[in-house]
Chain A
């Protein structure tokens, strides 16, 4: 559901914001709130109230039982919280720019340990999500948000709203669409998964995640440019498209896989591709936990497509997976992102069985292809 304030009403909100108590929010939260406004986080209307927050932690669902696994939270310090009360309307500001008005419905405390255990399944501060939770302030504020000044986004030409993607799918005649989440430059294994899924649906929706990621991940520029190269040389324009999703990675593994699926459903996808260790980091999650969690969500409204291990088989002579290749591990070369990354860092080219030469060219053109 699109909640973006229409231009005709934006002026009124701008005037109201100028008179209201101001609250600074991070760039990441601004993106989340814009995603609420665009309808990507439907049915959310803003940062979670306590009832919803607690049931999301306990059951991975909102209080009305709708699937939701990643809490969208607005945190403030006690000092900031003392500056407004429930029922107030706040002007939300990011980088000095007011962009939204929030109806404050609730202020409440939270427990970081429970939060981390439930969302990330760990309290290890080395986990990026846990580390972020420890940086967050003590009071949470719930309520609905009216965004009147959405940012153009980092790559405006690739940033479409759900109403636009749904229209696009209809225009292209795609009744079934598989969404593919990525935070990587594509290797042959990714392409194999995408094209295997595409064999069963009308369209492929490549949806790179643009936003805050951990050190060592590919930069947003590299992800986008490598996919542009892949599209130019290896995809059919009438069966695949690419749109960016501006949202931070949480690395919450299974919980985030469900979140990613919900967002793709809101874009209008009928299917969502879930690979091995989706949205994982380190060894916090089992390799297929992000697939198994879908058993708990028969009411998700989008069909997951699962892929297990895929690799290059020297005897088959191409990409294979463990369901179809009869050969042993001695014939298999894994599509190891870590290995390819090491080679690229040394300015070396991964083998063509691992990565398309056009993709490698793009990566090597960048002096710093990875996040510092």
Chain B
């Protein structure tokens, strides 16, 4: 199931620049390109269980990476 989406307005001149940029590339739409750029800007945070966090913290401490 695709994620719920909301519209965002950008200036037409910028839209046209992006259209030019993606011409001949694998991007099929301006939306796809903008979405990718924003995903790069806000990468998903790596999540850890409490148990894994404790194990990693202990290993990093033993190896001298953290206090």
Is A268 within 8 A of B46, CB to CB? Answer: yes
A12 an interface residue at 8 Å Cβ cutoff? no
Determine the main DSSP class of B at the interface with A: helix
B23 an interface residue at 8 Å Cβ cutoff? no
Expressed in whole angstroms, the Cα–Cα distance for A176 and B52 within the complex equals 23
Is B60 within 8 A of A167, CB to CB? Answer: yes
Contacts of A167 in B (CB 8 A): 46, 48, 53, 56-57, 60
Expressed in whole angstroms, the Cα–Cα distance for A299 and B26 within the complex equals 10
Contacts of A365 in B (CB 8 A): none
Is B65 within 8 A of A241, CB to CB? Answer: yes
CB distance from B65 to the nearest CB of A (A): 6
A168 an interface residue at 8 Å Cβ cutoff? yes
Knowing A61-B26, A65-B26, A171-B57 are in contact, say whether A163-B46 is a contact too (CB < 8 A).
Answer: yes
Is A166 within 8 A of B66, CB to CB? Answer: no
Flag B5-38 by CB within 8 Å of A: 1 or 0 each.
0000000000000000100001100000100110
CB distance from B40 to the nearest CB of A (A): 5
Determine the main DSSP class of A at the interface with B: helix
CB distance from A264 to the nearest CB of B (A): 13
Expressed in whole angstroms, the Cα–Cα distance for A160 and B52 within the complex equals 14
Is A299 within 8 A of B36, CB to CB? Answer: yes
Is A301 within 8 A of B43, CB to CB? Answer: yes
Is A168 within 8 A of B26, CB to CB? Answer: no
Contacts of B64 in A (CB 8 A): 157
Contacts of A170 in B (CB 8 A): 46
Is B66 within 8 A of A172, CB to CB? Answer: yes
Is A157 within 8 A of B56, CB to CB? Answer: no
Expressed in whole angstroms, the Cα–Cα distance for A234 and B64 within the complex equals 18
A88 an interface residue at 8 Å Cβ cutoff? no
Contacts of B66 in A (CB 8 A): 168, 171-172
Instruction: List 18 A–B pairs whose Cβ atoms lie within 8 Å, in order of A's numbering.
Output: A61-B26, A65-B26, A157-B63, A157-B64, A160-B60, A167-B46, A167-B48, A167-B56, A167-B57, A168-B65, A168-B66, A170-B46, A171-B57, A171-B60, A172-B66, A298-B36, A301-B39, A301-B40
